[in-house]
Amino acid sequence: MSSLLASVAVGRPVRGEFTYSVPEALASKLRPGQRIVVPFGRGKALGFYLGEAARPPDPSVQLKAIIDVLDDEPAVAKDVLQLLRFAAEHYRYPLGEAIRAAMPPGLTQQQAQKQARPDVQRFVVATPMADPAALLRAPAQAAVIQYLLAVGGRAEIEELAHAIPGARESVKKLVSRGFVQIEEVPIEAGVKEGLQHGRHERLTPEQDVAVAELARALDAGEFRPYLLHGVTGSGKTEVYLQAMEHVLRLGKGGLILVPEIALTPQLVGRFRSRFGTSVAVLHSALKDRERLLHWQALRKGDVRIAVGVRSAIWAPVRDLGLIVVDEEHDPSFKQEDKLRYQARDLAVVRARLCGATVVLGSATPSLETLENARRGRYSKLELRSRVDDRPMPAVHIVDLRRERPRTPETAGTEPPVLSTPLLAAMEETLGKGQQVILFLNRRGHSTFLLCEVCGTAVRCRSCDVSVTHHQSMRKVMCHYCGEGGPVPERCAECNGTILKLGVGTERVEEEVAAHFPNHSVARLDRDAASSAERLTELLASFARREIDVLVGTQMVAKGHDFPGVTLVCVVMADTSLSIPDFRAAERTFHLLTQVAGRAGRGRDPGRVLVQTYNPDSEPIRRVVAHDYDGFSDTELRWRRALAYPPFTRMAAVRVEGDHPEQTARIAQDLGQRVARRMPPASHGVRLLGPAPAPITRIKGKTRWQLMLKGPTHASLGPLLSEIEARLPELPSAVKVVIDVDPTAML
């Protein structure tokens, strides 16, 4: 037995690092980041070797030995392992589980790594021996040879199988006899026509400055964080591309993070148009084998650029020199389960660990990022003008209080979704052969169902929310737990008639199709774009101008570049304003600004119509004026006065359980334990709650929450440790989750 002791993170939901002894035969094989198999409990577990461990304090402790080393090379690169250590500590999550979650499919089990194979096309190729005359006694095989010779000696096996019954079996026999050979040609995932872009002939002066500054930072090879604040259509992506060209010339690699899969096809199209197939793609909509294939290509250094969603922050890019976080303000960068990390923040941490340049890009920077730039922590680069001096789209308000006045005759009725000014603008735009985007951040046909007799809403049986009517699926569905069922015709309480009220994207699509029957209409939301292939095809069709009107949720708002779009209509701007969340105004401003920015990105100027019942609200007024500075100044003053981020740090403690009384009692007990440990008021630490969560029941679980606010993360640490110390004593029916830097307040 070797004298070496190993520190190991076990891929189980247990905190801490574990010490194992190392058998002599394995001592020379171990490197930090390798996957190993260790005894754990009564069985075995996947583990990750972290390095040599100090000797245990008690020499009488009998250590268990590592069973096996699964890989020759570390699965977790040094910088990624450092990042995972930081993330596990900062977000209070078991390190082994964090590492396991960062692994691609195929590396999360106790088995040796296999090389993923790409998709291939299989061709049948005739050899010089191929002679139909030699196959007179095998007419089926002769038919295959005759077909091959007729088409030049080579054909795809699927083509043969379609043309000749039984061709697959005949091919096997022909291969064994030497008459044909099988060729496999890897299929490179192409970029749909319409999603590719050529190189800009010239940069704007502001782009020139930004590219030159990033080149200097990359040449220095030191950690440099930047905020790239560029209005929509100002060419931020071209800046990313040219910075990436520079990093590749230096022999280093790059990582580009986007908030959602919806953005991936177009950004991948831009990067592959510039860099060919040397771009790896990482997101959950890919097949497991595809994700492993891309991950392995990056780990080996065969591919130097990775494009992906938040989980790509763990991508094993070699010699990382540049990280880009596009649309850095987007809440999708926050993981809302298990390891609740913020990928934007981890991008900055990883860049610091690697000595890399990190660029956080947005037309509407998050207030946290903006404040970091104001304090000098990040350098700021600005693109205040659109490419080719295109004007910003004119934004006009449609005041629904005037367009839809409530009278005794209209009381209780559901007004049309599309107002008269909006329909007129659509008709004019479509008449010019231009395209329209309609934005509404609610899926479904009707967002709630109500009895017209007793007023009872149809609610989810497991959650404290109304169900949504999905007409295309002919059912109602809860958007929190996913439970669905048939559409009720009568009220369960009084047998009254059920009214379908509220507006979703399905209903908008329906009204548009009725008003404009001669124009093609499509819908882009999570129901319509149910797969990566469907999403890519829909976006490509719109880019090719095969679709005239695109109706969608926030998936249409983020970063897309469609030159044919000259009119954007926000169907209802008020949906997020009344959410009980201190970020509600910021998110409304971000979303409306982003969707408005889809208009006028080609030769023709754009315009935006915003339908609202609250035209005087701060975020809507500022969107009309394209006034990010005014909005951010006002919002930051309010945040400072009320001690909200970015002027304080927060942690949410969420308690959920099967039994309402038990859950409430435990939440209150945790609150009392924290209250007893609170530092003096002068330290600036505050406890909010415990209180029932705004949505008090989801998936049948009762929910309470506590909020901790303090000037630094360190100031919250002892209080969170106090809560964690209590967790092992809790009954199994109650679950407590700690969410550091929470994004969702519901």
Residue type, 314: W
Q: For tokens 């749909």, name the residue.
A: 192
pLDDT at 214 over 70: yes
pLDDT at 208 over 60: yes
Using CA atoms, how far apart are residues 696 and 691, in angstroms rounded to an integer?
Answer: 10
pLDDT tens-digit readout, 575-633? 888 777 889 899 999 999 988 888 888 888 999 999 988 889 999 999 999 999 999 99
Give the number of other CB atoms < 10 A from CB of residue 441: 23
Confidence at residue 35, expressed as pLDDT on a 0 to 100 scale? 94
Confidence at residue 131, expressed as pLDDT on a 0 to 100 scale? 82
Confidence at residue 741, expressed as pLDDT on a 0 to 100 scale? 95
pLDDT at 308 over 60: yes
Determine what percent of the chain is predicted with pLDDT higher than 90. Answer: 53
Provide mean pLDDT across the span 404-410.
55
pLDDT tens-digit readout, 569-587? 999 888 888 777 889 899 9
Q: What is the 3-state secondary structure (H, E, C) of 247-281?
A: HHHCCCEEEEECCCHHHHHHHHHHHHHHHCCCEEE
pLDDT band at 456 (very low <50, low <70, confident <90, very high): confident
Using CA atoms, how far apart are residues 156 and 159, in angstroms rounded to an integer?
Answer: 5
pLDDT band at 189 (very low <50, low <70, confident <90, very high): low
pLDDT band at 404 (very low <50, low <70, confident <90, very high): low
| 202 burial via Cβ count (<10 Å: 0-12, 13-18, 19+) | exposed
Give the number of other CB atoms < 10 A from CB of residue 233: 25
pLDDT at 559 over 80: no
Confidence at residue 16, expressed as pLDDT on a 0 to 100 scale? 87
Assigned token pair, 28? 């020379």
Q: What is the pTM of this model?
A: 0.86
pLDDT band at 198 (very low <50, low <70, confident <90, very high): low
Provide mean pLDDT across the span 701-717.
93
Question: Among 196-210, 346-360, 424-438, 725-739, which is the least confidently predicted range?
Answer: 196-210
pLDDT band at 10 (very low <50, low <70, confident <90, very high): very high
pLDDT tens-digit readout, 481-499? 788 888 887 887 788 877 6
Provide mean pLDDT across the span 383-396.
89
pLDDT band at 57 (very low <50, low <70, confident <90, very high): low
79 Rama class: left (phi>0) / alpha (psi -120 to 50) / beta: alpha
Confidence at residue 535, expressed as pLDDT on a 0 to 100 scale? 79
pLDDT tens-digit readout, 647-671? 999 999 999 999 999 999 999 999 9
Main-chain dihedrals φ then ψ at residue 264, nearest 5 degrees:
-60, -45
pLDDT band at 700 (very low <50, low <70, confident <90, very high): confident
Could you tell me which residue, 560 or 438, shows the higher pLDDT? 438
Provide mean pLDDT across the span 537-566.
86
Q: Are 31 and 49 in contact (CB under 8 A)?
A: yes
Q: Are 399 and 570 in contact (CB under 8 A)?
A: no
Mean pLDDT taken over the chain: 88
pLDDT at 201 over 70: no
Question: Among 148-152, 527-531, 632-636, which is the least confidently predicted range?
Answer: 527-531
